[in-house]
Chain A
Amino acid sequence: MADDASNGAPAGGQWPLWEVFTQEQTGQPHEHAGSVHAVDAEQALQNARDVFGRRGKVVSVWVVPTEQITASTPGDAGPFFDPGSDKAYRHPQFYKAPRGVRIY
């Protein structure tokens, strides 16, 4: 569950880390489930199945090398996401409608 992509490859012969995303049903999004260590993509997929799919609740799985993930950093979160937080006009509640009219 290395949510931290920058955590990097640990020292000394440890197999690379892969982030695992599972889909529980068709139509649902793939969600981050955790991570596994594996020598290559094929083994990562098998390990992911064994670790996160023991109860049949998985119909699809993705594995991604952790080091390939680029993530935002908490320090920049303010300025980075700011542009989205002051735009009330992007929300339906911003607009008035006459009483009693069914809009949706």
Chain B
Amino acid sequence: MTPTNAAAPPPPETAEQLAAFEARIAAGEYIEPKDWMPERYRKQLIRMMSQHAHSEIVGMLPEGNWITRAPSLRRKMTLIAKVQDEGGHGHYIYCATETLGVSRDQMVADLLSGKAKYSSIFNYPTLTWADIGVIGWFVDGAAIVNQTVLAKASYGPYARSMIRICKEENFHKRQGYEICAVLASGTEAQRAMVQDAVNRWWWPSLMMFGPGDASSPNSEELLRWKVKRFSNDELRQRFVNLTVPQAQAIDVALPDPELRYDAASGDWHFGQVDWNEFWQVVKGDGPCNRERLAARNKAHDEGAWVRAAAEAYAARRAGAAASAAA
């Protein structure tokens, strides 16, 4: 619980307030932290933004797993920089979420306790070096599709954090695609490695856009309030359309026998996503859910001395300054 906000119950919302708010949204205005907003809008944003922030932080783990084993110094420098960026992304979004009145401590506690959700994609393991390439290509590629649209979200701080993030994601995607392209033009074993990684990551990447429109309980409201601008299915289609030619260009097959170009719509038709698998991973039974949470907790606990040292150092400096002044 956040004592700051638990103090007073929010005043009742009037129809006039809601109408004025929705008129602002309809007029394309951005909502800023101190503006009036329906409690429901605030709650939905806190849920969505904190999950997004957690995803950036947990997303550091599967890739961090390969830093010590990157095949060259160039790849290693790149991977360190990328993982650090993801930490930065988490930071931008946590800050933006704090403007809604939830504390950082609370969000971190919810992540560590397992109460909070994050993107299911990060509950899959990174088995080979090719996975690092495919994550950059697919996972960051999907994130770009999502975040480019969220950069126009109606909540100002969220939109601004997305703009900052989008500027950094292109590097993430390109380095991943480069890894894949190099492997795909390499030896038989390298080609097999990248194809195997593509086979494992393709469907979970499509799941990143969330459940289909028919079974996405929050979508309608988020679209109406222009937090989202396109539905999950629309964005998923956009991602598929972008990715198919990229796969063809490096001669890698996407693992979907139903994949075919539909000239009438201009879309690549794709097969059914296995939503049972999706819900199973969301509910905590993915291949790495427990491992990720344990790793996050370990990192947090092992960082305790750094936080304590920073506080002690600041206190001592403040003390020295005070006695010098006396």
Using a CB–CB cutoff of 8 Å, the interface residues on chain A facing chain B are: 1-4, 6-8, 10-14, 17, 33-37, 39-40, 42-43, 50-51, 54-55, 71, 73-74
Chain A residues closer than 8 Å to B98, beta-carbon distance = 2, 7, 10, 17, 35
In the complex, which of the residues B2, B4, B33 has the most CB atoms of chain A within 10 Å of its own CB atom?
A: B33
B85 at the interface (CB under 8 A from A): yes
**In the complex the two chains form, is B310's CB within 8 Å of A39's CB?**
yes
Specify which of A34, A42, A54, A71 lies most central, judged by the most chain B CB atoms within 10 Å of its CB.
A34
B56 smallest CB distance to A (angstroms)? 12
Interfacial residues of chain B within 89-141, with CB under 8 A of chain A in the complex: 91-92, 95-96, 98-99, 101, 103-106
B residues apposed to A, CB below 8 Å: 2-4, 32-36, 81, 84-85, 88, 91-92, 95-96, 98-99, 101, 103-106, 156-157, 160-161, 164, 168, 310-311, 313-314, 317-318
Pairs A–B under 8 Å by Cβ, sample size 12: A1-B92, A2-B95, A7-B33, A7-B99, A7-B101, A10-B4, A10-B98, A34-B160, A39-B310, A40-B317, A50-B88, A71-B34
What's the Cα separation between A73 and B161 when bound, in Å?
Answer: 22
Inter-subunit contact B314/A39 (CB<8 Å): yes
Given A12-B103, A54-B85, A4:B161 Cβ within 8 A: no
A33 to B95, CA, bound (A): 11
**Would A43 and B99 be within 8 Å (CB), given that A3-B33, A51-B91, A54-B88 are in contact?**
no
Take A10-B4, A39-B311, A54-B88 as given contacts and tell me if A2 and B99 are in contact as well, using a CB distance cutoff of 8 Å: yes
**B88 to A: closest C-beta gap in Å:** 5
Interface contact B314-A43, CB-CB below 8 Å: yes
Say whether chain B's binding surface is mostly helix, strand, loop, or mixed: helix
Contact call B103/A11, Cβ cutoff below 8 A:
yes
Residues of A within 8 A of B36 (CB): 74
Interface SS majority for chain A: loop
Q: In whole angstroms, what is the CA distance A40 to B312 when docked?
A: 11
Bound CA–CA A86/B220 (angstroms) = 40
Please give, as numbers and ranges, the residues of chain B lying within 8 Å of A33 by CB-CB distance.
164
Q: Given A54-B85, A54-B88, A13–B34 Cβ distance below 8 Å?
A: no
- Alpha-carbon separation in the docked complex, A79 to B99 (Å): 25
- A1–B105 touching, CB < 8 Å: no
A37 B156 Cβ-Cβ under 8 A: no
The answer for the CA separation of A17 and B4 in the assembled complex, in Å, is 15
Residues in A neighbouring B311, C-beta threshold 8 A? 39
Chain A CB within 10 Å — which of B2, B92, B98 has the most? B98
Let me know if A37 and B104 touch, CB within 8 A.
yes
In the bound complex, what is the Cα–Cα distance between A33 and B156 (angstroms)?
13
